[in-house]
């Protein structure tokens, strides 16, 4: 699993940060409703990758991981894809950078 770095402080708006939090909550809710923990299996992997966005890490397999979870609605996967596209476009345009923590 490779990752790419971006400056989250420069890239994300408050709406983007809220969207990432909402995505995490929705993935966790689906995990709990399926008697799974947010820290286990594919749900745990995806949750970790989404939390990584706050530190400026874009994991290359976040979309394939999301798509591999049969119970995630396509609308949720598309929302994840929108955030990934924003990060990818920034990295392709500006190169990799680091989020100051």
Q: Please state the domain extents for the chain.
A: 3-94
Q: What is the pLDDT of residue 100?
A: 72
Q: What is the pLDDT of residue 15?
A: 98
> CA nearest 71: which of 31, 17, 11?
31
Give the model confidence (pLDDT) of 30-45 as tens digits. 998 876 655 678 999 9
Long-range pairs, 28-31, Cβ under 8 A, ≥24: 30/69, 30/71, 30/72, 30/76
pLDDT at 6 over 80: yes
Dihedral of CA atoms 68, 69, 71, 74 in degrees, nearest 10, equals -50
Q: What is the pTM of this model?
A: 0.90
Q: What is the pLDDT of residue 98?
A: 80
Cross-strand pairs, 32: none
């Amino acid at each position: 699993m490779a990752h790419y770095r971006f400056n989250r402080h420069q890239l994300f708006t408050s709406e983007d940060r809220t969207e990432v939090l909402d995505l995490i909550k929705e993935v966790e809710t689906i995990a709990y409703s399926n008697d799974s923990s947010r820290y286990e299996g594919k749900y745990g992997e995806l949750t970790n990758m989404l939390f990584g966005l706050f530190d400026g890490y874009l994991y290359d397999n976040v979309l394939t991981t999301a798509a591999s979870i049969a119970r995630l609605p396509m609308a949720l996967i598309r929302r994840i894809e929108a955030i990934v596209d924003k990060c990818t476009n920034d990295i392709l345009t500006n190169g990799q950078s680091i989020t100051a923590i």
